[in-house]
């Protein structure tokens, strides 16, 4: 997908309303795709979203020797011919999720070579916790001018303590330990729902993992994993973004294929702003007031706290509300890149370090803005939906990393926006 020179033209003033189905979660699918190489048998992933990051992961799997093919039943992956332990440099530098392959390659081949991963510029996001966790399993890691040479010839089960509940580090250790004899315990593990989904996937292949969703995950290594057919969890961040789209435009939506328990923190803030929400087993309904009231404060935290991936979208909603809200970003030190563009659209946001004070304005104004990261780009689209006039969002290749054809989804719900080629 070559869309570096494409943009979204958003015509503001339309209510977002109707029904939408949420696809599989990007943050669940990527580690699941990586974990598929832990078995030589066929793995089929249903409801796999058509995202830039997913396409990049599939490209990496193919370069490692896997066969990947889209079929009617889902994405088929066969890694019986897996032979390459060197992750492709050009793709690794593009997406951060390339680091997810480190654990399963070591688990399967006992050696791996990888460059430091890329991704959105939202903070340092060092991979030292990944490396520390793998070293606790006996992996010898040498850094040769930015190339990590990993030797797992002496890998063993063991206790891993994470200084911070890193999602990626937790998942990498889970995958690396799945085929190691003995018992591996991850202490201070991250508790995100996507980690529970990875546990379910590994266990569906015959693994023995328990405790995901708590601070202690226990992996009993098995000799071999088998193939499976698996449907990842729905994307809670896409769902939250669509709820924000309805909220900021005074609309009313019903989202299908969602897990309301994954949206508790987001729903609580939207309810505080005056939205009415109703949860069912796998559906969420939101009806917004014409004028929203700013939430008093919002602090991002590791799960089950408010997700950092929804901070930018909630900031856009707050910018168009009545009153003043305070946002504290506790997860990443550089995740306010969208503020300058929101202010260009007429928002009144002041930033001091990790704290942003958002004073709601009566109306946002459309203008030309640029996505600087995935979720910040989505926030600019939301602001454009509520703004007077037209908003041109540039650099939408970042948005396409986490939203499959966002313009089509929103247009089906009443938006007026289109993907255009920039001159």
Spell out the SS3 assignment of 296-364.
CEEEECCCCCECHHHHHHHHHHHHCCECEEEEECCCCCCCCCCHHHHHHCCCEEEEECCEEEEECCCCC
Instruction: With H, G, I as helix, E, B as strand and everything else as coil, classify residue 169.
Output: helix
Beta strands 140-144 and 147-151, pairing class: antiparallel
What is the SS3 assignment for 42?
coil
CA-nearest of 23, 356, 13, 29 to 200 is: 29
Can you tell me which residue has the tokens 């255009």?
420
Q: Give the span between the Cα atoms of 377 and 289, in whole angstroms.
A: 25
The whole-angstrom separation of Cα 342 and Cα 265 is 23
- Show the CA angle centred on residue 373, arms to residues 300 and 294, nearest 5°: 45
DSSP label at residue 36: G
Is residue 120 part of the annotated active site? The answer reads yes
Q: How far apart, in Å, are the Cα atoms of 207 and each of 70, 275, 381?
A: 25, 42, 41
d(CA 58, CA 97): 11
Question: What's the rounded Cα separation, in Å, for the pair 225 and 36?
Answer: 10
DSSP state letter for 290 = S
Which residue in the list 120, 150, 200, 370 is annotated as catalytic?
A: 120
Confirm if 378 and 399 have CB atoms less than 8 A apart: yes
- Residues with catalytic roles: 120
């Amino acid at each position: 997908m070559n869309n570096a020179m494409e943009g979204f033209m958003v015509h503001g003033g339309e209510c977002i309303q109707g029904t939408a189905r949420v696809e599989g979660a990007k943050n669940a699918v990527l580690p699941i795709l990586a974990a598929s190489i832990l078995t030589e048998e066929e793995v089929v992933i249903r409801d796999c979203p058509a995202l830039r990051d997913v396409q990049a992961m599939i490209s990496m799997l193919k370069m490692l020797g896997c066969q990947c093919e889209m079929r009617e039943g889902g994405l088929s992956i066969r890694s019986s011919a897996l032979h390459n332990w060197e992750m492709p440099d050009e793709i690794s530098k593009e997406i951060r999720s390339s680091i997810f392959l480190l654990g399963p390659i070591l688990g399967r081949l006992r050696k791996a070579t990888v460059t430091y991963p890329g991704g959105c510029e939202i903070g340092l996001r060092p991979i030292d916790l990944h490396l520390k966790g793998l070293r606790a399993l006996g992996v010898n890691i040498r850094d040769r001018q930015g190339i990590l040479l990993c030797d797992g010839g002496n890998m063993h089960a063991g206790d891993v303590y994470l200084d911070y509940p890193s999602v990626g580090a937790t998942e990498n250790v889970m995958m690396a330990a799945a085929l190691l004899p003995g018992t591996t315990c991850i202490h201070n593990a991250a508790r995100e729902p996507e980690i529970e989904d990875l546990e379910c996937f590994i266990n569906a292949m015959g693994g023995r993992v328990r405790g995901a969703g708590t601070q202690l995950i226990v992996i009993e290594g098995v000799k071999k994993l088998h193939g499976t057919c698996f449907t990842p969890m729905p994307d809670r961040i896409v769902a939250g973004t669509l709820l924000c789209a309805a909220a900021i435009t005074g609309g009313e939506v019903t989202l299908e294929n969602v897990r309301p328990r994954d949206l508790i923190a987001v729903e609580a803030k939207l309810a505080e702003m005056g939205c009415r929400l109703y949860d069912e087993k796998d559906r969420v309904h939101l009806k917004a007031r014409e004028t929203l009231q700013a939430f008093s404060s919002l602090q991002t935290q590791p799960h089950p706290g408010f997700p950092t991936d929804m901070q930018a979208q909630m900031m856009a909603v707050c910018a168009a509300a009545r009153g003043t809200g305070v946002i504290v970003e506790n997860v990443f030190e550089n995740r306010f890149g969208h503020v300058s563009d929101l202010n260009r659209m007429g928002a009144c946001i002041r930033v001091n370090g990790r704290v942003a004070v958002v004073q709601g304005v009566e109306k946002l104004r459309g203008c030309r803005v640029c996505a600087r990261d995935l979720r910040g780009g989505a926030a600019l689209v939301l602001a454009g939906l509520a703004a007077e006039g037209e908003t041109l969002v540039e650099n939408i290749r970042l948005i396409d990393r986490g939203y499959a054809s966002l313009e089509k989804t929103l247009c089906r719900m009443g938006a007026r926006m289109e993907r255009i080629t920039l001159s």
